[in-house]
C-alpha cells in the first residue's frame, strides 16, 4: 500500500509532531517487522496510535477487497470470509475446540505440555530431566520406596471415599499418559488454564483478518484507550472488544468475594467442571434410557451466570451494537442480562478487528491459547513499552515458599496414607514422586543434609536478612538427586488428574468430619485455599525446571530465623531472557509496534528482546514535544548552597554532609518554586534515612513553613489517597493570596521513589509538578541477586559450567552484601555494564517525564549530582545525559557554576510563566 500523508480520522487539527508520528507508524505497519515509536507524555500519543493504526487497517481491508474484486477466482471465497456470520451458540466462541486447530498448533501445544513421548534433545535442549530415558528410574524408585514405608492406616473409615478418589491413571508407556475411565472414555485436561467446552466450535470463516491487538500494562490504561477511540470515526467503522481478567469481569458475588485472582480463577474453572459433570450425567441417563432426573445441587450446577445460553447471545448482540466498550461497560451489560461478561467478551474476539487487552493476555503463550488469539499476520501494538522486557520475563518466573511446601507435603502425605490401598498403581506412583520432590525442596530450604557435595547457601556468610544462592537448572536437579524424574509427565499428570483439588478437598472434608468448632472451620477453609495456592506454586516451579538450562536460574533464598524454631525462605525460578519468548510473537505477527512516552535508552529493550535483529531492520522514531522550548528548564545541579559537590553514589550518599547539603538545597528551592514539587529518591530506605536526618536537624520544619510535605507510601493501595491530598493542598494553598502574609505556604512537596507507583503511572500536570528533582543516579541495588544473574547472562559469563573461574564466588552465593554485585559490575567489559547504566537512565526518564502534559504546561527539571555534568564539546554517546529524551537533552543546562546561578535561572523561569498566566 502507498504511504499516507493525511489522516482524516484524527478528530482535531493535528500538531506537526502528531502528523509525523502517525506517518511513521503507518510506514512501519506497511513495512512489517518491529518498530519502536517514542512520543513524549502529553503529546496525544494514544490518539495518534489509534488514528494511524486503524486507518492502516481500513486501508488494508479495502486493498484486500480490491484484490478480491479483480480476481473472479477468489471473489466468492473472500465474500464468504468477510460477510458470513452464523452467530453460533455464544459459548462456542470463548474456547476453540481441539479439532478446529491446525495440526501445527496442536503439535505446539502438545510439546509445551509434554504430550510428546519423544522429548526434544537437540542442540541446547539437553537438560538432565531428559536423562530418565537413558538412566532409567532406579534413583526415583529408591526415594519412592521410602514413601511406601509410610503407615497405611485408614483414618475416618466412615467418610465417603468416592468423592476424593482420583480416576485410574495409566503411565505414558502404557496408554499415552491418559486417565482411564470406567466407561472407556479419556478425560480432558481438567486443571488447565481453561476448560474445553464439549459443544464449542469456532467458525474460522468468521475470523477477522488482519486484526490489531492493542495491549497496555493496566486496566485503567486500556479504559483510557477506549475513551480516546470513541472520539474517532473508527468507533463506528470497526468491531472492537476489550478483554480483561476474571477478577475484573466476574459478577458472581459468591466467587468475587474470594478476593485474590488465583482463587477467583480456580473457583470459576471448578464451577465449569461441575457443570460438565452434570451435563455428562444427563447425557448418560438419556443414552441408557434410565428413568428419573439428575438432581441439581450447588456443587453440580455450575456458575449461574453461564447457564442461560440465550442471555449469552443477548449479551453479545448488545455489546456489538454499542460500539467500543471498556471493562466497566461490559460488566454493566453482564449485570443487566445476568450473564458472564468475562466469557461474553471472549466470544466476540474472533470477529473483532481490534482487540484491546492487558500485557499478560497477549504475552503469555498459555493465555493466548486459552483465549484463542491468533497472531498470524496480525498487528501488535504494545503501549508503555518501556515495561515490556520486565513484564515478559516476570510472567515466566515462579516461586514457592517454605510454608507452602510444608503445607503441600503434609496434604499429600495425609492423602496418600488414607487412600494408598484404594489408588491404582499409576496414581500411587505419581503421588509418591510429588512427595519425593517436595521433600527434596524442603531439604534445600531447611538446610538439611542433602545429597549434594556442595551447598552454596551454607557456605555463605551471614547477613541481617538471610542467605541467597543461585544455581543452574541442571546443577540444582543433580544436587538434589532428582534429575531422573520426568517432569513433563508429572506436570501433565497433575493437570489431567485434578489431584490438587482431590487432596485439598479431602483435607477440608476431614476437618469438618472431626467436628471442629465453627471458628476453626473458617480457619481450615482459608488453610485449604492456601494449600491450593501452594499446589499451583509447585506446578509453576516444576514447569520452570523444564526450561532450557541457560534460560534462567534457580534462586534459593533462606531468611535468617529470629529463633531456633523459626524458618523461612523460598525457592524461585528467574527467567533471564525474553528474546526466545518475544521471537515467537514476532515470527507470527505481521508487525510489532513498541510505543511509549519514553523508550530511551532503546539499547536496553533491544538487548533483552531482540538482540539478533540487525540495526537496519529496527525502525526507531522519536518525535519532539508539543511545548515551546521556553516551557521546560532542565538543569544539572553539581553542587549545593554551601559549595559542597553532590555525589549520591552508593558509597557516599549516606554521609551527613551529603544529606544536609541536599536539605539546604530543598529548603531554598521551596521559596522559589510555586505550587507543587516532586523529589525523587532511589529507594524507600534512602528516602527514610534522609527524612529522619532532616527532621532531627530542623530542615523539615523549614520546608514545612513554605510547603506541606507528603511522602509516597509503601503500600500501593494508599498512593491514590496521598496523591489526592497532595493535589488538594496545592489547589488550596497555591491560589490563596499571600501578600498579607509573606510567610504563608505556597503549595506542597512530594517525596517519591524512583520505580514506585508515583514514578510509573502518575501525571504531574500543571501545578502538581512545577519542579521535578532527581536525587542522584538511581542505579539498581547491586545486592539484587536476580539482577546480577541477568547482568552476567547479558555480559556472556558462562555461569553454568564454571569456565570463568574468576566469577566462581559471585555465581555461587550472595548474602545481601552489595560488594559482590559491585565486583561483578567492575568485571563487566561492555554489554552488562551498559545494561546496568541503561536501567538507571530509563528510571530517570520515566520519573522526570511525568511533568509536562499539554502545550501550555511548564516545569523545571533538576538533576542533582555532579555525575550528570558534562562538557558539551566532549560529551560521548555513553554519557548518562546522552540517554535522556531528545526533548529534554536538547534544552539541558549542562551545569551551573554555583548555587546563585541556579537560583537566578529558576527565578527568571517562574517569573516569566507567572507573567504569561496573568496576561491570559
pLDDT of residue 513: 63
Using an 8 Å Cβ cutoff, are 466 and 557 in contact?
yes
Using an 8 Å Cβ cutoff, are 540 and 362 in contact?
no
Report the interhelical angle of 261-288 vs 518-544 (nearest 10°). Answer: 90
Distance of CA 136 to the CA centre of its chain: 39
Rounded distance between C-alpha atoms, residue 586 and residue 596, angstroms:
18
Q: Please name the residues in contact with 422: beta carbons below 8 A apart, sequence gap of 6 or more.
A: 161, 165
Rounded distance between C-alpha atoms, residue 881 and residue 889, angstroms:
7
Q: Please name the residues in contact with 639: beta carbons below 8 A apart, sequence gap of 6 or more.
A: 645, 646, 866, 896, 898, 899
Using an 8 Å Cβ cutoff, are 849 and 634 in contact?
no
Strands across the sheet containing 813-814 = 398-401, 570-575, 552-559, 466-471, 813-814
Cα–Cα distance list, 434 to 207, 428, 587 (Å): 42, 10, 37
Q: What is the DSSP letter of 779?
A: P
Residue 279 above 70 pLDDT? Answer: no
Using an 8 Å Cβ cutoff, are 501 and 270 in contact?
yes
| pLDDT, tens digit (0-9, with 9 covering 90-100), for 306-353 | 888 889 899 999 998 998 999 999 999 999 999 999 999 999 999 999
**In this structure, what C-alpha cell is assigned to residue 853?**
502534559
pLDDT of residue 171: 58
The model's confidence at residue 185, banded by pLDDT at 50, 70 and 90, is very low
pLDDT of residue 703: 95
pLDDT of residue 291: 45
pLDDT of residue 365: 87
Rounded distance between C-alpha atoms, residue 389 and residue 609, angstroms:
6
Q: What is the DSSP letter of 54?
A: H
Rounded distance between C-alpha atoms, residue 808 and residue 785, angstroms:
14
Cα–Cα distance list, 751 to 406, 756, 772, 841 (Å): 41, 11, 10, 19
| pLDDT, tens digit (0-9, with 9 covering 90-100), for 97-135 | 434 444 444 444 444 433 333 334 333 333 433 333 343
Which H or E element spans position 182?
Answer: none
pLDDT of residue 500: 86
Q: What percent of the chain has pLDDT over 70?
A: 73
Using an 8 Å Cβ cutoff, are 124 and 801 in contact?
no
pLDDT of residue 525: 44
Tell me the DSSP string of 444-458. Answer: HHHT---S-S--TTT
Name the residue with higher pLDDT: 678 or 384. Answer: 678
Three-class SS string for 373-408? CCCCCCEEEECCHHHHHHHHHHCCCEEEEHHHHHHH
By 3-state DSSP, what share of the chain in percent is helix, strand and coil, each rounded to 5?
50, 10, 35
Structural domain spans, the chain: 396-448+466-512+532-576, 632-736+743-781+839-918
Using an 8 Å Cβ cutoff, are 738 and 746 in contact?
yes
Beta-bridged to residue 634, according to DSSP, are: 861
Beta-bridged to residue 553, according to DSSP, are: 574
Which H or E element spans position 637?
Answer: strand 632-637
Residue 740 above 60 pLDDT? Answer: no
Residue 863 above 50 pLDDT? Answer: yes
Using an 8 Å Cβ cutoff, are 44 and 17 in contact?
no
**Which of 524-533, 892-901, 904-913 shows the lowest per-residue confidence on average (mean pLDDT)?**
524-533
Tell me the DSSP string of 514-535. Answer: TT--HHHHHHHHHHHHHHHHHH
The model's confidence at residue 764, banded by pLDDT at 50, 70 and 90, is confident
Beta-bridged to residue 864, according to DSSP, are: 637, 775
Cα–Cα distance list, 329 to 118, 224, 233, 309 (Å): 48, 13, 20, 20
Q: Closest Cα to residue 420, out of 411, 410, 432, 409?
A: 432
Three-class SS string for 295-318? CCCCCCCCCHHHCCHHHHHHHHHH
| pLDDT, tens digit (0-9, with 9 covering 90-100), for 476-530 | 999 999 999 999 999 999 988 888 888 888 877 776 666 444 444 444 444 455 7
pLDDT of residue 636: 95
**Mean of pLDDT over the chain:** 78
The model's confidence at residue 354, banded by pLDDT at 50, 70 and 90, is very high
Q: Closest Cα to residue 46, out of 382, 390, 387, 357?
A: 382
Residue 177 above 60 pLDDT? Answer: no
The model's confidence at residue 186, banded by pLDDT at 50, 70 and 90, is very low
Rounded distance between C-alpha atoms, residue 607 and residue 583, angstroms:
13
pLDDT of residue 23: 95
**Which of 71-85, 357-371, 428-442, 559-573 shows the lowest per-residue confidence on average (mean pLDDT)?**
71-85
pLDDT of residue 201: 39
Using an 8 Å Cβ cutoff, are 589 and 368 in contact?
no
The model's confidence at residue 745, banded by pLDDT at 50, 70 and 90, is confident
Which of helix, strand or coil describes residue 545?
Answer: coil
* Count of positions (residues) in the chain: 920
Q: What is the CA radius of gyration of the chain?
A: 30
Cα–Cα distance list, 504 to 166, 206, 329, 413 (Å): 12, 42, 37, 12
Q: What percent of the chain has pLDDT over 90?
A: 39
Topology of domain 632-736+743-781+839-918, CATH = Rossmann fold (3.40.50)
| pLDDT, tens digit (0-9, with 9 covering 90-100), for 391-450 | 888 888 999 999 999 999 999 999 999 888 888 888 999 999 999 999 999 999 987 754
Cα–Cα distance list, 79 to 62, 67, 75, 205 (Å): 13, 12, 6, 10
Residue 693 above 90 pLDDT? Answer: yes
- ∠ Cα 485 584 801 (to 5°): 45
Where do we find the cell 471493562? Answer: 327
Average pLDDT over residues 729-756: 76
Supply φ then ψ for residue 637, to 5 degrees. Answer: -115, 95
CB atoms inside a 10 Å sphere around CB 493: 24
Q: Please name the residues in contact with 526: beta carbons below 8 A apart, sequence gap of 6 or more.
A: none
* Environment class of 82 (CB within 10 Å of its CB; exposed 0-12, middle 13-18, buried 19+): middle
| pLDDT, tens digit (0-9, with 9 covering 90-100), for 196-233 | 443 343 444 457 788 999 998 888 889 999 999 999 99
**Which of 188-197, 278-287, 653-662 shows the lowest per-residue confidence on average (mean pLDDT)?**
188-197
Residue 865 above 80 pLDDT? Answer: yes
| pLDDT, tens digit (0-9, with 9 covering 90-100), for 597-637 | 888 888 888 888 888 888 888 899 988 888 888 999 999 99
| pLDDT, tens digit (0-9, with 9 covering 90-100), for 808-845 | 434 444 445 677 888 888 888 888 888 899 889 989 98
Q: How many alpha carbons fall within 13 Å on the CB side of residue 740?
A: 2
pLDDT of residue 358: 92
Which of helix, strand or coil describes residue 225?
Answer: helix
pLDDT of residue 514: 60
Omega before 404 within 30 of 0, i.e. cis: no
Name the residue with higher pLDDT: 915 or 669. Answer: 669
Which of helix, strand or coil describes residue 124?
Answer: helix
pLDDT of residue 854: 83
The model's confidence at residue 94, banded by pLDDT at 50, 70 and 90, is very low
* Environment class of 93 (CB within 10 Å of its CB; exposed 0-12, middle 13-18, buried 19+): buried
Q: Which stretches of 684-787 are assigned E, i.e. beta strand?
A: 707-711, 747-753, 771-775
Q: Are strands 379-382 and 398-401 parallel, antiparallel or unpaired?
A: unpaired
pLDDT of residue 520: 46
- ∠ Cα 458 460 461 (to 5°): 120
Amino acid at each position: 500500500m502507498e504511504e499516507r500523508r493525511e489522516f482524516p480520522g484524527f478528530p482535531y487539527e493535528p500538531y506537526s509532531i502528531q502528523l509525523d508520528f502517525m506517518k511513521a507508524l503507518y510506514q512501519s505497519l506497511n513495512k512489517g517487522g518491529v518498530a519502536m515509536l517514542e512520543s513524549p507524555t502529553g503529546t496525544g500519543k494514544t490518539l495518534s496510535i489509534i488514528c494511524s493504526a486503524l486507518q492502516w487497517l481500513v486501508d488494508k481491508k479495502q486493498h484486500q477487497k480490491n484484490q478480491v474484486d479483480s480476481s473472479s477466482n477468489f471473489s466468492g471465497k473472500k465474500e464468504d470470509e468477510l460477510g458470513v456470520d452464523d452467530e453460533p451458540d455464544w459459548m462456542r466462541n470463548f474456547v476453540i475446540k481441539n479439532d478446529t486447530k491446525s495440526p501445527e498448533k496442536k503439535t505446539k501445544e502438545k510439546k509445551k505440555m509434554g504430550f510428546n513421548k519423544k522429548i526434544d534433545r537437540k542442540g541446547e535442549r539437553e537438560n538432565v530431566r531428559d536423562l530418565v530415558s537413558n538412566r532409567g528410574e532406579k534413583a526415583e524408585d529408591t526415594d519412592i520406596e521410602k514413601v511406601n514405608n509410610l503407615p497405611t492406616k485408614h483414618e475416618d473409615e466412615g467418610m465417603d471415599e468416592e468423592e476424593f478418589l482420583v480416576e485410574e491413571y495409566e503411565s505414558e508407556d502404557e496408554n499415552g499418559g491418559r486417565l482411564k475411565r470406567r466407561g472407556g472414555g479419556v478425560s480432558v485436561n481438567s486443571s488447565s488454564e481453561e476448560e474445553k467446552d464439549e459443544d464449542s466450535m469456532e467458525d474460522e470463516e468468521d475470523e477477522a483478518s488482519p486484526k490489531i491487538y492493542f495491549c497496555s500494562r493496566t486496566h485503567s490504561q486500556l479504559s483510557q484507550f477506549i475513551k480516546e477511540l470513541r472520539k474517532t470515526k473508527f468507533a463506528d467503522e470497526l468491531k472492537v472488544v476489550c478483554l480483561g481478567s476474571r477478577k475484573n469481569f466476574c459478577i458472581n458475588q459468591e466467587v468475587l468475594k474470594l478476593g485474590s485472582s488465583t482463587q477467583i480463577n480456580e473457583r470459576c474453572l471448578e464451577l465449569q467442571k461441575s457443570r460438565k459433570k452434570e451435563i455428562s450425567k444427563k447425557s448418560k441417563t438419556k443414552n441408557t434410557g434410565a428413568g428419573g432426573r439428575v438432581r441439581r445441587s450447588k456443587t453440580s450446577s455450575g456458575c449461574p451466570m453461564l447457564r442461560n445460553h440465550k442471555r449469552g447471545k443477548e449479551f453479545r448482540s448488545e455489546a456489538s451494537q454499542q460500539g467500543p466498550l471498556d471493562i466497566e461497560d461490559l460488566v454493566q451489560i453482564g449485570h443487566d442480562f445476568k450473564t458472564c461478561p468475562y466469557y461474553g467478551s471472549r466470544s466476540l474476539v474472533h470477529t473483532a478487528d481490534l482487540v484491546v487487552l492487558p500485557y499478560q493476555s497477549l504475552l503469555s503463550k498459555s493465555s493466548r491459547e486459552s483465549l484463542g488469539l491468533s497472531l498470524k499476520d496480525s498487528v501488535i501494538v504494545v503501549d508503555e513499552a518501556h515495561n515490556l522486557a520486565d513484564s515478559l520475563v516476570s510472567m515466566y518466573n515462579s516461586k514457592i515458599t517454605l510454608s507452602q511446601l510444608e503445607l503441600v507435603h503434609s496434604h499429600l502425605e495425609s492423602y496418600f496414607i488414607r487412600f494408598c490401598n484404594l489408588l491404582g498403581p499409576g496414581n500411587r506412583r505419581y503421588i509418591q514422586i510429588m512427595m519425593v520432590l517436595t521433600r527434596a525442596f524442603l531439604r534445600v530450604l531447611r538446610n538439611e543434609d542433602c545429597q549434594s557435595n556442595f551447598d552454596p547457601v551454607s557456605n555463605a556468610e551471614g547477613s541481617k536478612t538471610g542467605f541467597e544462592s543461585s544455581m543452574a537448572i541442571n546443577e540444582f536437579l543433580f544436587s538434589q538427586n532428582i534429575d531422573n524424574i520426568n517432569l513433563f509427565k508429572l506436570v501433565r499428570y497433575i493437570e489431567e488428574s485434578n489431584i490438587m483439588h482431590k487432596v485439598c478437598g479431602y483435607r477440608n472434608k476431614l476437618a469438618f468430619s472431626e467436628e471442629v468448632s465453627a471458628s476453626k472451620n473458617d480457619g481450615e477453609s482459608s488453610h485449604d485455599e492456601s494449600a491450593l495456592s501452594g499446589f499451583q506454586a509447585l506446578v509453576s516451579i516444576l514447569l520452570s525446571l523444564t526450561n532450557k538450562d541457560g534460560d534462567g536460574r534457580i534462586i534459593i533464598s533462606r531468611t535468617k530465623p529470629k529463633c531456633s524454631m523459626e524458618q523461612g525462605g523460598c525457592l524461585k525460578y528467574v527467567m533471564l531472557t525474553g528474546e526466545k519468548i518475544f521471537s515467537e510473537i514476532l515470527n507470527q505477527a505481521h508487525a510489532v509496534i513498541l510505543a511509549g512516552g519514553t523508550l530511551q535508552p532503546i539499547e536496553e529493550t533491544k538487548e533483552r528482546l531482540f538482540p539478533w535483529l540487525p540495526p537496519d531492520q529496527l525502525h526507531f522514531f522519536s518525535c519532539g514535544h508539543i511545548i515551546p522550548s521556553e516551557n521546560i528548564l532542565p538543569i544539572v545541579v553539581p553542587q549545593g548552597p554551601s559549595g559542597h559537590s553532590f555525589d549520591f553514589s552508593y558509597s557516599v550518599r549516606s554521609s551527613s554532609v551529603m544529606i544536609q547539603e541536599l536539605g539546604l538545597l530543598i529548603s531554598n528551592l521551596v521559596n522559589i518554586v510555586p505550587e507543587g514539587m516532586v523529589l525523587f529518591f532511589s529507594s524507600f530506605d534512602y528516602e527514610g534515612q534522609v527524612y529522619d536526618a532532616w527532621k532531627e536537624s530542623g530542615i523539615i520544619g523549614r520546608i514545612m513553613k513554605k510547603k506541606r510535605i507528603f511522602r509516597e507510601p509503601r503500600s500501593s493501595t494508599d498512593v491514590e489517597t496521598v496523591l489526592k491530598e497532595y493535589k488538594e493542598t496545592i489547589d488550596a494553598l497555591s491560589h490563596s493570596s499571600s501578600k498579607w502574609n509573606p510567610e504563608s505556604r505556597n503549595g506542597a512537596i512530594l517525596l517519591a521513589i524512583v520505580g514506585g507507583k508515583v514514578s510509573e503511572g502518575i501525571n504531574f500536570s500543571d501545578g502538581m509538578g512545577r519542579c521535578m528533582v532527581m536525587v542522584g543516579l538511581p542505579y539498581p541495588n547491586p545486592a539484587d541477586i536476580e539482577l546480577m544473574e541477568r547482568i552476567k547472562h547479558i555480559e556472556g559469563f558462562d555461569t553454568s559450567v564454571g569456565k570463568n573461574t574468576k566469577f566462581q564466588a559471585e555465581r555461587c552465593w550472595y548474602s545481601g552484601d552489595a560488594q559482590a554485585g559491585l565486583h561483578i559490575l567492575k568485571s563487566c567489559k561492555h554489554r552488562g555494564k551498559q545494561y546496568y547504566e541503561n536501567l538507571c537512565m530509563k528510571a530517570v526518564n520515566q520519573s522526570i517525564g511525568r511533568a509536562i502534559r499539554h502545550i501550555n504546561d511548564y516545569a523545571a527539571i533538576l538533576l542533582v549530582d555532579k555525575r550528570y555534568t558534562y562538557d558539551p564539546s566532549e560529551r560521548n554517546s555513553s554519557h548518562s545525559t546522552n540517554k535522556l529524551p531528545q526533548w529534554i537533552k536538547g534544552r539541558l543546562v549542562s551545569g551551573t557554576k554555583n548555587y546563585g546561578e541556579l537560583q537566578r535561572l529558576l527565578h527568571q523561569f517562574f517569573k516569566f510563566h507567572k507573567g504569561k498566566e496573568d496576561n491570559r
